[in-house]
Amino acid sequence: MRSTRHLRLGTIIFLLAALSSAIAQSFTDIKPSPAQVQWQDLEIGVIIHFGTNTFLNREWGDGTADPSVFNPVHVDTDQWMEAARSAGAKYAVLVAKHHDGFTLWPSKQTDYSVKNSPWLNGKGDLVHMAATSAHKAGLGFGIYLSPWDRHDPRYPDPAAYDKYYLAQLDELATTYGHLTEFWLDGAGSAGRTYDFDKIIQELRTYQPNTLVFADVALYKNADIRWVGTESGTVPYENWNVIDRTGYLRWRPVEADTPLHKLHWFWHPNDESSLLSVEELLNIYTNTVGRGAQLMLGLAPDNTGRIPDADAKRLQEFGAAVQRIYAHNLIAESGHATDTATTSATDNDPSTFWSAPPRHATLEIQFDKPVTFDRAVTMEWLNEGQHVQDYSIEAWQNGAWRPLVRAQAIGHKKIDLFPRTTAQRVRLNLLSTTGSAAIREFQLYDGERGHLQ
């Protein structure tokens, strides 16, 4: 009996090993969490830098600035959030502690904070003000808590500093309501090992649905990844799943760039570095339009307000995006030739067309020729990212002429091409893994939007 039992046990182990091998994950098996799906629909966020650097005309603090330098005369966090919202932002992340170690809330863990500044007689709490204003404006709110700390004397001792960092994290995670995002910045941390598993486990205790941003090289288990540049572009075919030496994880891209070229903090007489509307539109196309999240850097001035020129530029950018994408030509005057595909042409991203496996087409017919210069295509990502190769084509001179050919679609793809006039257009899914789900296929005339 013992021999038979051992034989059966060996067979079971063999079968389990074979089954494990058979269901080994590939890129297309990886799916997002519900929180990641919701986050990707936000599309635009802002990150706000404000601290001792604001009053010292510098980008990098060394932790030696006296708290007395922080004394804004008119902090207006409502104005910050309204400016962000006018640009189309759906969430705001506040840099609660930058690398200089100065905290914008009255942390009980350190004296290096607003509680020892003259601002509001040491009674101010900028994190509370910003969170309240964000929620009032209908924005999600998140926190940036720098791992690198150039002020705290515990930093050279990893165990002591991690304990300090965890205590500050607890204060932030338990006091200011739901956090949409938690930012881990790897600047200054080369060669340093933090216990990020313990840190994020602590965060999850109080904020189970908060998404964690980190560079791929900084933390393996984060939910969002850095694009790799601060230029506001995604310079590659954007796949949401990444491979860390055989470890596959859904980690969508967040592309951060400051509203002022190369400047995250406010500087006096810095108007010339403010991005133009055209530059912002190009950034939008190359971030949101490549399936990533756009994170714009905002910098209140030394009075505590977003400068008027910055607020105006944000409003102009948001209005320009609204104008350019106000008239979906398919929704206004086109119709799908196959009724099975209408869920992808109904101007409603909550519905989707389940395309036949491997290869499928979605054709649009217009009553008369229309002129357009861009297409917006969206995948429904709940079951993963499945489009591997596609083209957008116009029927001209008796044949289908390709306007664009690319690989990844992902959350949203904006394809620009020379202004074209046609009466028939199609989305040609040349290669998909299984059945791709298309939320939207839209056509726009950007020149018409610019002229309005």
Tell me the percentage of the chain whose pLDDT exceeds 90: 90
pLDDT number for residue 18: 41
In single-letter form, the type of residue at position 224 comes to: I
| pLDDT for 3 | 46
Q: Give the mean pLDDT of the chain.
A: 93
* 72 touches 302 (CB < 8 A): yes
What band does 191 get if pLDDT is binned at 50, 70 and 90? Answer: confident
Residue the block writes with tokens 């919202």:
85
62-77 residue pLDDT tens? 999 999 999 999 999 9
CA 348 from chain centre, in angstroms, equals 22
Predicted confidence at residue 449, as pLDDT, reads: 67
Closest CA to 257 of 238, 283, 222, 282: 283
pLDDT score of 1:
40
CA dihedral for 236, 237, 238, 242, sign (positive or negative): negative
* Adjacent-strand bridge partners of 336: 364
Instruction: Choose among 132, 43, 127, 131: nearest CA to 90.
Output: 43
**pLDDT higher for 400 or 27?**
400
The vertex-299 CA angle with 295 and 302, nearest 5°, equals: 170
Write down the residue that tokens 């933090």 correspond to: 194
d(CA 34, CA 117): 41
**Strand, helix or coil for residue 216:** coil
